[in-house]
């Protein structure tokens, strides 16, 4: 049985999206490698806060029916640059058990090991559901701070938490909670004021996500706020120079409990719409590296919907925060044109269905980003199909497979896998020209 310090993938405890026919040998191999990563490596692979994606990669490939050899190859190509977990500071760990001293270590990556042990012990003595509910959803000052950290780092802690919940792995959840604890909380400057402003709107009808994307795109203040020279375009550009305007737009999106399933699909659809559509007419198709995380995170909201222990109020809150993050993320890359015709006119290099795309991404030398993107897009097609007739769902049924082809074709090219900050001219300078048909 999987525990707070033991990873064990079990056939039958399926994630929300997987390919039938997964072998027991693959489950054994993935569990072994995940355990090795859990026991040996820090959540960041360097001092600059770059994330260890071994768990993301292995769990995604396992769900896509990767063979044992493909799983080992995926782990091995990324193992060499991982950072050791590091020694344990017992005195710091002891202090963390004191709620008054817990906050003293937040935001400091050197305490990841201590936070990991803290959350492992708490999960072992109660349950992972109670720990997540206590630390993220209690609704008090401390939990709100931790929840904001969970959506920091371009959603990495939330993605990690989603993997733990979707794949039924308490040890991955402990990693995610520790990862949240060592991130900063600058996104709180968006989430808390936007939430208050949304409540002040009373019974005003929520705007759709694409209506807000259109409004942000046409707002000069927001388009000019991020600068190419910014170290963090979301923190320094959008929140630093146009925070009030961003809060104004973010507060116009709200969710009612009886809308959770549809609004989850709407979030997924909108994230895919601006991520795949952020192209340049004269440049090869490339997905924006930062936007891609908003798509990759979307799949876990289907897993969150299945959690009986999580109240509808907290499901609503988490979805609203995710959408507000996505709107700010779109603005942070200079609100590029969203070219949906580039999706619909795309000509795949190897026309096929999802199975063939998923086989290709399982063979790819990747760090997990491409495989997560393919799986999230395939899942998006499923959950958005019932709403194809709704205007706010701009991505329609046939578009999803097109986006899957765009994803795999673009990362198989010898050029860089991603464009970074797609609204800036500078981001496209070294991207090859688009072939003329």
**Confidence (pLDDT) at 59:** 98
**Confidence (pLDDT) at 421:** 98
Q: What tens-digit pLDDT sequence spans the chain (437 residues)? A: 999 999 999 999 999 999 999 999 999 999 999 999 999 999 999 988 899 999 999 999 999 999 999 999 999 999 999 999 999 999 999 999 898 889 999 999 999 999 999 999 999 999 999 999 999 999 999 999 999 999 999 999 999 999 999 999 999 999 999 999 999 999 999 999 999 999 999 889 999 999 999 999 999 999 999 999 999 999 999 999 999 999 999 999 999 999 999 999 999 999 999 999 999 999 999 999 999 999 999 999 999 999 999 999 999 999 999 999 999 999 999 999 999 999 999 999 999 999 999 999 999 999 999 999 999 999 999 999 999 999 999 999 999 999 999 999 999 999 999 999 999 999 999 999 998 76
**Confidence (pLDDT) at 49:** 86
**Confidence (pLDDT) at 222:** 98
* Residue showing tokens 């960041």: 44
Measured in residues, the chain has a length of 437
Q: Quickly list DSSP for 24-51.
A: HHHHHHHHHHHHHHHHHB-SBSSTT-PB
**Confidence (pLDDT) at 287:** 98
**Confidence (pLDDT) at 437:** 61
Helix locations, 167-311, DSSP H: 170-181, 188-200, 209-217, 220-224, 240-250, 260-277, 289-298, 300-305
3-class secondary structure for 123-186?
Answer: HHHCCHHHHHHHHHCCCCHHHHHHHHHHCCHHHHHHHHHHHHHHCCCHHHHHHHHHHHHCCCCC
CA atoms within 13 A on the CB side of 389: 1
- Rounded Cα gap, residues 325 and 183, in angstroms: 16
- By the 8 A CB rule, do 17 and 40 touch? no
- Rounded Cα gap, residues 232 and 238, in angstroms: 9
- By the 8 A CB rule, do 166 and 303 touch? yes
Closest listed residue to residue 377, CA positions, set 397, 351, 350, 347: 397
The CB density around residue 22, as the number of other CB atoms within 10 Å, is 19
Ordered by start, the domain boundaries in the chain are 1-185, 188-428
- Rounded Cα gap, residues 378 and 361, in angstroms: 13
Token pair for residue 207?
Answer: 């705007």
**Confidence (pLDDT) at 101:** 86
- Rounded Cα gap, residues 249 and 246, in angstroms: 5
* Whole-prediction pTM: 0.98
Beta bridge partners of 44: 51
**Confidence (pLDDT) at 436:** 76
**Confidence (pLDDT) at 45:** 94
R_g (Cα) of the chain, nearest Å: 21
- By the 8 A CB rule, do 224 and 284 touch? no
pLDDT tens, residue by residue, 35-79: 999 999 999 999 888 999 999 999 999 999 999 999 999 999 999
């Amino acid at each position: 049985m999987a525990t707070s310090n033991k990873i064990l993938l079990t056939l039958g405890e399926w994630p929300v999206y997987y390919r039938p026919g997964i072998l027991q040998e693959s489950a054994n191999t993935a569990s072994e490698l995940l355990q090795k990563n859990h026991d040996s490596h820090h959540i960041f692979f360097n001092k600059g806060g770059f994330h260890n994606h071994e768990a993301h990669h292995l769990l995604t490939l396992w769900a896509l029916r990767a063979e044992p050899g493909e799983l080992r190859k995926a782990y091995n190509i990324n193992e060499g640059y991982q950072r050791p977990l590091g020694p344990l500071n017992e005195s710091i760990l002891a202090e963390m058990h004191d709620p008054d001293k817990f906050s003293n270590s937040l935001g400091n990556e050197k305490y990841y090991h201590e936070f990991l042990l803290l959350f492992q012990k708490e999960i072992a003595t109660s349950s992972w559901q109670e720990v997540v509910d206590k630390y993220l959803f209690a609704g008090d000052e401390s939990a709100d701070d931790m929840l904001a950290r969970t959506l920091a780092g371009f959603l990495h802690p939330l993605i990690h938490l989603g993997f733990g919940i979707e794949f039924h792995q308490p040890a991955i959840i402990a990693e995610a909670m520790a990862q949240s604890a060592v991130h900063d909380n600058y996104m709180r400057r968006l989430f808390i004021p936007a939430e208050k402003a949304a409540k002040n709107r009373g019974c005003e009808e929520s705007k759709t996500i694409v209506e807000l994307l259109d409004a942000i795109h046409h707002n000069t203040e927001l388009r000019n706020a991020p600068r190419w020279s910014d170290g963090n375009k979301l923190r320094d550009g959008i929140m630093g120079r146009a925070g009030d305007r961003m809060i104004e737009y973010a507060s116009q999106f709200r969710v009612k409990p009886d809308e959770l399933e549809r609004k989850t699909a709407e979030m997924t659809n909108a994230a895919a719409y601006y991520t795949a559509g952020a192209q340049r007419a004269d440049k090869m198709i490339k997905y924006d590296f930062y936007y891609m995380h908003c798509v990759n995170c979307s799949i876990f909201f289907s897993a969150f919907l299945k959690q009986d222990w999580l109240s509808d109020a907290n499901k609503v809150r988490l979805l609203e925060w995710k959408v507000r993050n996505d709107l700010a993320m779109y603005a942070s890359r200079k609100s590029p044109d969203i070219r949906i015709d580039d999706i619909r006119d795309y000509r795949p290099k190897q026309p096929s269905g999802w199975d063939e795309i998923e086989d290709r991404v399982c063979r790819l030398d990747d760090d997990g980003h491409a495989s997560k993107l393919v799986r999230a897009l395939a899942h998006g097609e499923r959950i958005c199909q019932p709403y194809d007739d709704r205007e706010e769902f701009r991505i329609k049924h046939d578009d999803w497979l097109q986006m899957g082809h765009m994803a795999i074709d673009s990362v198989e090219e010898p050029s860089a896998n991603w464009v970074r900050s797609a609204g800036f001219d500078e981001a496209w300078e070294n991207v090859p020209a688009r072939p003329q048909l």
